[in-house]
Chain A
Amino acid sequence: EVQLVGSGGGLVQPGGSLRLSCAASGFSFSGYWMSWVRQAPGKGLEWLANIKQDGSEKYYVNSVKGRFTISRDNAENSLYLQMNSLRVEDTAVYFCATDADRSLGFDPRGQGILVTVSS
């Protein structure tokens, strides 16, 4: 059963940095593209970035390009999102998801990772 456990969120000041982690289990992590998605308070879902199985290809939405970096460690079955130059509008719950066949799979038991950017 797919399990995606996120960590690394918290309160950070504008301009600061955070690194989110997502520990994967229950499936062959190295065989999947992976994505990050976020949801601002009371708002809809926004896809942020994805990464190919071997890390050789990465794609980003314009709103985070140049500030966020997606990466992975297949030996550790882990996905990461390095977030720099954080803005108040980056405040959201962040989800990691499998990315297969141009669609996303979330862990139904996952709560997401809360990131609050505020002074």
Chain B
Amino acid sequence: DVVMTQSPLSLPVTLGQPASLSCRSSQSLGSSGANTYLSWFHQRPGQSPRRLIHKISKRDSGVPDRFSGSGSGSDFILNISRVEAEDVGLYYCMQGAYWPYTFGQGTKLEI
């Protein structure tokens, strides 16, 4: 199975400052951004996950443009340009290029 490794596991941030979350896969997820199946999810305690980004950089409807995704191959980044209070929680990356889909262990964003 493809192992997804996220770092850091915990990320203290300051409101209004940028944040960068990393995700690395044990195998390349593809060389074409259009068909590289890497997604990012945000989850608050007691809630369902919410997808933010799919195919590396495609933001979902309603997701603020302060969230952006980048990367290729095996290395991916989720950037938050200016952290807001509502952004706290856990962030997971997930690969859908290979069965089974696999998630990273999560990065906890805290103020």
Among the stretches A7-15, A19-27, A39-47, A79-87, the one at the interface with B is: A39-47
Contact A59–B55 (Cβ < 8 Å) = no
Interface of B is mostly: loop
A-B contact count (CB 8 A): 69
Contact B94–A112 (Cβ < 8 Å) = no
Q: A44-B103, A47-B103 in contact; A106/B50 too (CB < 8 A)? A: yes
- Look across to chain A and name the residue whose beta carbon is closest to the beta carbon of B29: A102
- Mark out the residues of chain A between 97 and 117 whose CB falls within 8 Å of any chain B CB in the assembled complex: 101-112
Among the stretches B41-49, B65-73, B76-84, the one at the interface with A is: B41-49
Contact A95–B48 (Cβ < 8 Å) = yes
Contact A44–B100 (Cβ < 8 Å) = no
Contact B106–A44 (Cβ < 8 Å) = yes
Residue A88 is within 8 A (CB to CB) of chain B in the complex: no
Contact B50–A102 (Cβ < 8 Å) = no
Contact A103–B49 (Cβ < 8 Å) = no
* Residues of chain B lying within 8 A (CB to CB) of residue A110: 48
Contact B103–A103 (Cβ < 8 Å) = no
Q: A45-B41, A45-B92 in contact; A104/B51 too (CB < 8 A)? A: yes
Interface 0/1 of A45-87, CB less than 8 Å to B? 1110010000000011110000000000000000000000000
* Residues of chain A lying within 8 A (CB to CB) of residue B1: 61-62
Residue B33 is within 8 A (CB to CB) of chain A in the complex: no
Residue B96 is within 8 A (CB to CB) of chain A in the complex: yes
Roughly how many angstroms separate A35 CA and B99 CA in the complex, as a whole number?
12
Contact A103–B94 (Cβ < 8 Å) = yes
- Set A47, A50, A103, A108: member contacting B54, Cβ < 8 A: A103
Roughly how many angstroms separate A70 CA and B76 CA in the complex, as a whole number?
31
Contact A106–B100 (Cβ < 8 Å) = no
Interface residues of B, Cβ cutoff 8 Å to A:
1, 37, 39, 41, 43, 46-51, 54-55, 90, 92, 94, 96-97, 99-106
18 extra interface residue pairs, beta carbon distance < 8 Å, beyond A45-B41, A45-B49, A102-B97: A45-B103, A45-B106, A47-B101, A50-B101, A59-B100, A61-B1, A61-B100, A102-B101, A103-B39, A103-B94, A104-B39, A104-B49, A104-B94, A104-B96, A106-B49, A108-B48, A111-B46, A111-B47
